[in-house]
Amino acid sequence: NLSPLDLARDIGVSSEEALDILKVAWRTKAIDGNSPKGANLLAGAKTAWDLLCEEKTMKRIVTFCEDLDVILGGGICRKEVTEVGGVPGIGKTQLGIQLAINVQIPVDLGGLGGQAIYIDTEGSFMVERVCQIAKACIEKLKDIPCTSERKVEECHTKLKVDDFLSNIFYFRACNYTEQIAVINYMDKFIEERDKVKIIIVDSVTFHFRQDFEDLALRTRLLGGMSQKLMRLAEEYDTAVVLMNQVTTKFSGGSFQLALALGESWSHACTNRVVLYWNGDNRFGYIDKSPSLQSASAPFSITTGGICN
């Protein structure tokens, strides 16, 4: 079993490209022959070594706030669901837009060269903001040297705000049925576009907090949706970022922040980041992760988007 790192070294391609080549090979192997149902799953068995190589070669999506990227282990992880919670105005949408832009940083400037899906349930996505943040991103990238053999100027002059806009696929879900329908449609949509590397749902909770009297139905619908999102992340190597709202709970004599949707939702994500205010400053906190330490980092929002 060849690892992506070995293949990259042997044939002189990047480790990301090697991983893509191996994935095609793994899939072909699994589908080959009249294999019975379930054979794909068995053929896809990997060793912990394979998983480590995959993790090492899987580039993360940076936020452009260095401290936040450090506590996130380099940025938002693909193949995983990351929940971002916080009070209104803390910057969840700004972070979502920033990630939709940063996922597009070209490969020869150290990025993923990907595309983004933005599922807007609250109507808070502003194209004007996307233009401002994309413009600032192009400026920031001017300081980054080009790693390919292309001329350095060529790397940078190719970057255009319009291209950043056309690589974000926007869906507006006006109620929870539309939200579920859009998420169910994602398989087909991503299969036709292999560059989608992030799906942002802003916010996942909004429609489920409005007039939902049948709580058992709500739990069932949310459970189905979270499983679907986890599978999308795993199958298409995309990051899934779910924005969540915060409620205040009175407990132990004081008000405490609690993420909306309660305990039944708490297993729906792999990582959870809580954005909060400390005085006039914004912070991000790793609240839950199977691999990252709990830690806080300050971040700011300017006209140019998320920064230190």
Give the residues lining the site for ligand ADP (CB under 6 A). Answer: 86, 88-94, 124, 129, 301-303
Give the helix/strand (H/E) hosting 302.
strand 296-302
Taking each helix axis from N to C terminus, what angle separates 4-11 and 15-31, rounded to the nearest 10 degrees? 120
Which residue number, 29 or 129, has a Cβ lying nearer to ligand ADP?
129
Q: How far is the CB of 124 from ligand ADP (least distance, A)?
A: 6
Alpha-carbon span 117 to 299, nearest angstrom: 24
Alpha-carbon span 55 to 49, nearest angstrom: 10
Which residue number, 16 or 122, has a Cβ lying nearer to ligand ADP?
122
Q: How far is the CB of 269 from ligand ADP (least distance, A)?
A: 17
Which residue number, 21 or 301, has a Cβ lying nearer to ligand ADP?
301
Q: How far is the CB of 284 from ligand ADP (least distance, A)?
A: 12
Which residue number, 91 or 106, has a Cβ lying nearer to ligand ADP?
91
Which residue number, 227 or 302, has a Cβ lying nearer to ligand ADP?
302
Q: Count other C-beta atoms under 10 Å from residue 15's C-beta.
A: 20
User: Shortest CA distance to 146 belongs to which of 159, 160, 136?
Assistant: 159
Within 13 A of 156's CA, how many CA atoms are on the CB side? 13
Q: How far is the CB of 86 from ligand ADP (least distance, A)?
A: 5
Q: Count other C-beta atoms under 10 Å from residue 151's C-beta.
A: 10
